[in-house]
Amino acid sequence: MISKILQQFNRSNYKLSIVSCQLILFISIFFCQFASLSAQDFKRDYKSAKDFFEEKKFNFAMDAFKPLMVYDKANPYSEYATFYYALSAYHQNYWTVAKESLLQMKALHPEWEQIDEVNYWLSAIYFQQGEYFQALRMLYAMKSARDLESIEQMKNNYLLKIYDEEIIRLLLEEFPGEITLLKRFITRLVGKGEFAMARELIVLNGLDENDFNFQSERKVVFKDQYRVAALFPFLAATLEPSPTSKRNQSTLDLYQGMKFATDSLRKLGINIELVGYDTERKLEAVARVMAHEEMKSIDVLIGPLFPDEMPPVTEFSKVNGMPMVNPISNSADYLAENPNALLLQPDFAAIGTASANALARRKLKRPCVVLYGEAPKDTMMANAFLKRAEELNIKVVLARQISKANSHEVYTTLVNPTKFDKFRNPIEFQLKKDSIGSVFVASDDELIFTKVISSIDRRADSVIIIGQDTWIDKPSMDFDKFERLHIMMSSPGYTDVFSPEYHAFRKRYVNHFGILPTTFAKMGFESMMFIGKSLKEFGSGLVSGLQQSVEMPGSLGRMYHFPEAQCNKEVPFVHFEYGELRVLYDY
């Protein structure tokens, strides 16, 4: 009986085994077919995305590559999809998206066969964003000579546009073999008239002196009347006779202030003929203006106001030895290896240096933290500050670049709590209370400086913040906090509105035009008064004369000083006192 039951059980088990095997075989075949179909889908989708890319339909390409970026064993296109997704973003000027995708590639797939392409395109993005150190580091990380001609072309395209000497010097320290940087440095020396040092470097490095523009000295001429050209985007064709503000109102106010100054100069016996030329905000219009024969009778060029309009004016200034002045810019790009160019405002490096001088005056015993943004001007300010701080023996315990992606590091750096009271309020931080005396913030990015202000407020210790007066232009700023935290700010365009000089100017302006002067009208008046007085004193040798002179007072209370420099080195610092913005001191 038992044997029959066992036989029956064995037969049932045998049938069940056959069914199980058939089921397993069916499932295996199904998944193999599914995997094959999935592979076919990945291949098809990748080809479709690549077609969009080749057709330069980059927005469609990004959408098509995105689902293929996810890692899957059956997906052999993950790395390539991420790479082309980044390039699609790059070609649409989505620099941050492209950079983050490529950096992710470097982190997750450092041994990818096309990693050199990742480095190349990261370099292109860093160059585009003015992060020259990072750009060159990416190029030096490449293991194979991708395309030497395109690499050199890219380097020349960006490195030859660096006009800040401090940036050039620091780059040469890290990349001494970069001949492009060396040429740029020599060009700057020539532009400043330091011919002996320039020639020494040319000989030492086997370069050709004919590649550099060594200008001969020109005779200084004095006149009874000087002609000054204002190369501004007046946009005359778009102006209508209405009382409403125009889209280029700041330009019109700047010119009106300058025109008003010529009347004041005439009373001082200084005759200026101010001639306005409309650049129309177009390079070809600027070129047409500079081609006019009458331009050779001009004594000083004021403008252009925008960097992309500069080339024809710079060339004309260099060839004719004509002073070229910008009254509002802080960018050393305006100088463009032109020894005749002048900034009436301090450049960003000068602001960084002055910030270190201002901090040294406070005689703090505790060290400093330096935080700066991604913009090229932020790097220039920070580097200049760090250099001057070292010379002044100011100890800097931390210097960190803050981007949108890592902005949280402001909090983790300054207010990362390590100890709490019984109400869970932080009473101690990783960067201990009273362990630092100051924070220099080289950025006007609201995302950065508001977090710094919030952090220092939360620390509740005696830390001084050094920033820029552009911070107070933001509508969300709490000025009470500025005063309570003793925030000091560089203020290159500061004018004491309570001074007798400003009151006299304002009264005369209102009587003449029937309206209050705007900030740009004030800047126009101040700059034209300074240029007029400088022409009387130095004639056609205005630039070299200013570079060899001592401090000169302006007409509305500010100072000018160009010690062997092409920008004004005087930088006022301000703070809030009893709710009013007051000057601390000048540097």
- Segment 157-195, tens digit of pLDDT: 788 777 667 788 888 888 888 888 888 788 767 766 677
Q: What is the pLDDT of residue 584?
A: 84
Cis peptide before 110, with omega less than 30 degrees from 0? no
| Residue 390: pLDDT over 80 | yes
* pLDDT (mean) for 210-230: 83
Please write down the long-range contacts of 281-287, taking CB distance under 8 Å and 24 or more positions apart.
281/233, 281/235, 281/306, 281/309, 282/309, 283/308, 283/309, 283/311, 283/312, 286/231, 286/312, 286/313, 287/312
Contacts of 130 (CB under 8 A, 6+ apart): 375, 376, 379
CA–CA gap between residue 62 and residue 81 (Å, rounded): 9
Domains held by the chain: number? 4
Let me know whether 190 and 308 are in one domain. no
Higher pLDDT, 337 or 290: 290
Higher pLDDT, 128 or 483: 483
CA–CA gap between residue 563 and residue 493 (Å, rounded): 19
**Are the beta carbons of 455 and 410 closer than 8 angstroms?**
yes
Q: What is the pLDDT of residue 474?
A: 78
Contacts of 396 (CB under 8 A, 6+ apart): 367, 368, 369, 370, 386, 389, 390
Q: Is residue 15 part of a domain?
A: no
Let me know whether 357 and 446 are in one domain. yes
Let me know whether 123 and 204 are in one domain. no
Q: Which residue from 339, 55, 328, 41 is spatially nearest to 218, judged by alpha carbons?
A: 339
Q: Is residue 511 part of a domain?
A: no
Q: What is the pLDDT of residue 508?
A: 96
Of 18-22, 294-298, 305-309, 515-519, where does mean pLDDT reach its minimum? 18-22
Q: Is residue 178 part of a domain?
A: yes
**Per-residue DSSP letter, 102:** H
Q: What is the pLDDT of residue 218?
A: 65
pLDDT tens track for 397-441: 999 999 888 889 999 889 888 888 877 877 778 888 889 999 999
CA–CA gap between residue 189 and residue 194 (Å, rounded): 5
Q: What is the pLDDT of residue 38?
A: 47
**Residue 228 is inside which H or E element, if any?**
strand 225-232
Other C-beta atoms within 10 Å of 180: how many?
A: 17
| Residue 571: pLDDT over 80 | yes
**Per-residue DSSP letter, 236:** G
Structure tokens at 57: 């339909």
Q: What is the pLDDT of residue 179?
A: 84
Q: Is residue 510 part of a domain?
A: no
Let me know whether 328 and 368 are in one domain. no
**Per-residue DSSP letter, 85:** H
Let me know whether 243 and 368 are in one domain. no
pLDDT tens track for 295-314: 999 999 999 999 999 999 99
Q: Is residue 387 part of a domain?
A: yes
Q: Is residue 231 part of a domain?
A: yes
Q: What is the pLDDT of residue 502?
A: 93
Higher pLDDT, 101 or 93: 101
Q: Is residue 502 part of a domain?
A: no
What is the DSSP secondary-structure string of 348-372?
HHHHHHHHHHHHHHTT-SS-EEEEE
Structure tokens at 167: 């940036």
* pLDDT (mean) for 466-472: 95
Structure tokens at 271: 């005759």
Let me know whether 82 and 165 are in one domain. no
Q: What is the pLDDT of residue 421?
A: 81
Partners of 420 in beta bridges: 426
* pLDDT (mean) for 146-156: 78
Let me know whether 201 and 92 are in one domain. no
CA–CA gap between residue 494 and residue 318 (Å, rounded): 31
| Residue 534: pLDDT over 90 | yes
CB-based burial, 330-358: b 16+ in 10 Å, e otherwise: bbbbbbbbbbbbbbbbbbbbbbbbbbbbb
Q: In what order do the strands lie in the sheet with 225-232?
A: 271-278, 225-232, 300-302, 324-326, 341-343
Instruction: Tally the C-alpha atoms within 13 A of residue 38's C-alpha that lie toward its C-beta.
Output: 13
Of 57-61, 93-97, 144-148, 331-335, where does mean pLDDT reach its minimum? 144-148
Q: What is the pLDDT of residue 6?
A: 39
Let me know whether 71 and 140 are in one domain. yes
Contacts of 131 (CB under 8 A, 6+ apart): 374, 376, 379
Could you tell me the pLDDT band of residue 30, with boundaries at 50, 70 and 90?
A: very low
Q: What is the pLDDT of residue 88?
A: 93
Contacts of 210 (CB under 8 A, 6+ apart): none
- Residue 151: CATH number of its domain: 1.25.40.10
**Per-residue DSSP letter, 462:** -
**Per-residue DSSP letter, 567:** B
What is the pTM assigned to this prediction?
A: 0.71
Percent of the chain exceeding pLDDT 70 equals: 90
| Residue 14: pLDDT over 60 | no
Structure tokens at 414: 């300054």
Let me know whether 311 and 357 are in one domain. no
The values of phi and psi at residue 56, to 5°, are 60, 25
Percent of the chain exceeding pLDDT 90 equals: 52
Let me know whether 352 and 486 are in one domain. yes
Domain final residue pick, 465, 490, 515: 490
Kindly report the average pLDDT of the chain as a whole number. 86
- Residue 475: CATH number of its domain: 3.40.50.2300
Let me know whether 412 and 453 are in one domain. yes
Domain final residue pick, 490, 507, 537: 490
CA–CA gap between residue 502 and residue 508 (Å, rounded): 10
| Residue 152: pLDDT over 90 | no
Could you tell me the pLDDT band of residue 34, with boundaries at 50, 70 and 90?
A: very low
Of 58-72, 364-378, 404-418, 573-587, where does mean pLDDT reach its minimum? 573-587
Let me know whether 385 and 331 are in one domain. no
* pLDDT (mean) for 323-338: 91
Which of helix, strand or coil describes residue 417? strand
CA–CA gap between residue 537 and residue 371 (Å, rounded): 42
Q: What is the pLDDT of residue 422?
A: 77
Residues of the domain holding 196: 160-214
Could you tell me the pLDDT band of residue 146, with boundaries at 50, 70 and 90?
A: low
Q: Is the dihedral of CA 105, 111, 113, 117 positive or negative?
A: positive
Higher pLDDT, 145 or 211: 211
Higher pLDDT, 281 or 1: 281
CA–CA gap between residue 166 and residue 185 (Å, rounded): 10
Q: Is residue 18 part of a domain?
A: no
Which residue carries 């983790």 as its tokens?
412
The values of phi and psi at residue 350, to 5°, are -65, -35
Domain final residue pick, 442, 466, 490: 490
Of 32-36, 125-129, 177-181, where does mean pLDDT reach its minimum? 32-36
